[in-house]
Structure 1
Amino acid sequence: MTIEVMLVDDHAVVREGYRRLLELHEDLQVTAEAADAESALLQWRTMQPRPAVLVIDLALPGMGGLELIGRLRQRDPEVRCLAFSMYRDAVWVTQALRAGALGYVTKSSDPAQLVHAVREVHAGRRVLGSDIAGEVARHLIEHPTATPHGLTPREFEVLRLLLAGCSPRQIAETLCLSVKTVHNIHYQIKSKLDTPSDFELARLAWRQGWVD
C-alpha cells in the first residue's frame, strides 16, 4: 500500500530534499507540494484522491501552519497532519496538537524519524520526535490541564503574525477575520500573558523562544 503525502514548506530546496528522502521508501510517494498555506488549502480541496498525510511546516509566510492545520480539520475531521518544524519548544508542540496535528517532528531530528512519523500518522497514531518528547512530557507533568499560558491555536497564530510585524489589517486579511476581531484577540493575548504593552509581549515571546 502506497501512502500519498503532501509537503507544505516555503523552501523549494527543503521540499525537494524531503521528497527524495520519503521516496527512497517504496510505500511513500509525494503527490503534491505547496509553498504556503493558502495554496496548500486550495490544492487539497480540489485533489481527488486527497493525500493521506500532510507534512506541514509551522513557520509559513502569511497564514501559518497552525491555522492551516485547524482549517483542514474543520473541513475534514479525519485529515491526518504531521507538523514538521524547526521549533523545539513544548509550546509549539502543544499548540500543533491542539490545532489537530497527529504528530510533531523537528527539522533537526534524524531523517528516519520523519519517515517513521509519516507512517504512524497515516495509521492514525500520535507520534513525537525523540528530541522533543522529553520536554513535552515535562510540560504535561507541570501543566496537566492548562495550555501554554492559556493561548488557543488561533491566538498563538495571531501572536506569531504580530511579532512578524504584520498590522491588524494584514492579519485580518490573512486569516479572513475582521479587523475588530484581530484587535480583540490582540487584547486577549496581552491579558492572558499579563503583558500591558506590545514591547513586553515581544520580549516575553523572544525570551520563551516562540519566535525565530
Structure 2
Amino acid sequence: MSKVSVLLADDHEVVRAGYRRLFENTGDIDVVAEATDGEQAYQLYMEYKPGVVVMDLTMPGIGGLDACRRILARDRNARILVFSVHENEIFLNRALDQGVLGYISKRNASRVMIEAVRCVARGELFIGQEMMPFLVKRKASQDSQQMAGLSPREFEIFRLRADGKSVNEIADLLSLSPKTVGHHNTSVKQKLGIANEAELTRLAIRLGVIDA
C-alpha cells in the first residue's frame, strides 16, 4: 500500500512534534516537510507536492487561509486538511469556498486526525463532528440559493415530481403536454445539479418542500 505524504503546517513546534509522532505510528502516513508559517507552507508544497497538507489557520505572516488560497490557485488538485482552534461558520465557509477538503477543530484533532488525513488523501470531504451544524447550514443555504433560480412553473413541477407524481400525471394536473413537463423537469435537475428523482426527493425533504 502506498504511503500518504504529509506537509504539516503549524507555528508551534510541540504541536508539530505531537502529530508527527502520531503519523509515524500509523505505518501509512509520512511527514515529508514541516512549515511554521503560511509562506513557508506554500513554498514547501511547491517543492514536495505532498499528498495532503495539514494546515493550521492562525500562523504568522500570510496565515493558513491565504496559504490555502495560494496553493489551490497553483494546484486545484491540492488536498488540504485544516485543523484549527476556530470552530465557527465563517472560517469553515471560507476554507470550503477555497477548495479545502477537510476541516477539524484542534479540540478533537488528535482523535480524528488519522481518519481525516486518509479521507482527504482519497479526495473525499472530511468535516469534524463539531463543525457539522455549520456544514448543514451551509448546505441548506446553497440549496436555497439554487431554488431561487427556479421559475414558478419549475418549482411547481419540482414539488410534484418530488412528491412522486409522474410526468403524465403532472401534465394532467397543470394542463400541460407531457413534453413540456419533461422539458421543465430536465431544466429543474440541471439548475439544481441533480442527477435523478431520488436526489430530487431528498432535496425537497431537506428543504421542507414535502414531508418525509
* TM-score tier (shorter): 0.5 to 0.7
| Alignment: residue pair count | 144
SS in 2 for 1:32: strand
Q: Deviations over 1:43-85 (max 9, x none)?
A: 22223xx211000001111101111111111111111111110
Matched residue, 2:18? 17
Which runs of no fewer than 5 residues in structure 2 stay unpaired? 146-212
User: What aligned pairs does 1:79-98 form with structure 2 within 5 A after superposition?
Assistant: 79-98=78-97
SS in 1 for 2:53: strand
Matched residue, 1:27? 28
Q: Is the radius of gyration larger for structure 1 or structure 2?
A: 2
User: What aligned pairs does 1:1-212 form with structure 2 within 5 A after superposition?
Assistant: 1-47=2-48, 50-109=49-108, 111-142=110-141, 144=143
What one-letter code is carried by the residue in structure 2 that aligns with 1:129?
A: G
CA distance 1:145–1:16, change in 2 (3 Å): farther
Matched residue, 2:204? none
What one-letter code is carried by the residue in structure 1 that aligns with 2:34?
A: E
Matched residue, 2:155? none
**Once the 2 structures are TM-superposed, how far is the Cα of residue 134 of structure 1 from its aligned partner?**
2.2
Highest RCO, 1 vs 2 (Cα 8 Å, sep ≥ 6): 1
**Once the 2 structures are TM-superposed, how far is the Cα of residue 125 of structure 1 from its aligned partner?**
0.4
SS in 1 for 2:81: strand
Q: CA RMSD in A?
A: 1.6
TM-score (norm: length of structure 2): 0.64
Distance 2:144 2:79 in 1: 24
2:52 and 2:117 in contact (8 A); partners too: yes
Distance 1:60 1:100 in 2: 20
Distance 1:55 1:84 in 2: 7
**Once the 2 structures are TM-superposed, how far is the Cα of residue 141 of structure 1 from its aligned partner?**
2.5
**Once the 2 structures are TM-superposed, how far is the Cα of residue 86 of structure 1 from its aligned partner?**
0.6
Matched residue, 1:202? none
Q: Deviations over 1:142-187 (max 9, x none)?
A: 56467xxxxxxxxxxxxxxxxxxxxxxxxxxxxxxxxxxxxxxxxx
TM-score (norm: length of structure 1): 0.64
1:67 and 1:99 in contact (8 A); partners too: no
